[in-house]
Amino acid sequence: MEIRIGITNTGRELSFDTSESADGVKKSVASALDAGATHLTFTDVKGSSYIVPTAALAYVELGSEESRRVGFVA
């Protein structure tokens, strides 16, 4: 699943693929914001970790969980 994160005062967004489910990501973001956590941590499919400060969080966009099809469909 693709995640795109907007960060305030930044012209670019953070975009990566993760193996987590959409519900899991939603719950972790909501619980971090409700608890007043200072940062969120995400891990992509390659094992890289991303730490995003919650104070600079503009939006979190979750893509579809379906894999893209490659090739021709008859």
66 in a structural domain? no
74 in a structural domain? no
Q: Which domain holds residue 46?
A: 2-59
36 in a structural domain? yes
Q: The pTM is what?
A: 0.76
pLDDT score at 66: 63
68 in a structural domain? no
pLDDT score at 4: 93
- In tens digits, the chain (74 residues) has pLDDT values of 899 999 999 889 999 999 888 899 999 999 999 999 999 999 999 999 999 999 999 999 998 766 666 767 66
40 in a structural domain? yes
Burial 60-72 (b: 16+ CB within 10 A, else e): bebeeeeeeeeee
pLDDT score at 31: 93
67 in a structural domain? no
39 in a structural domain? yes
Looking at the 3D structure of the chain, how many domains does it have?
A: 1
pLDDT score at 68: 62
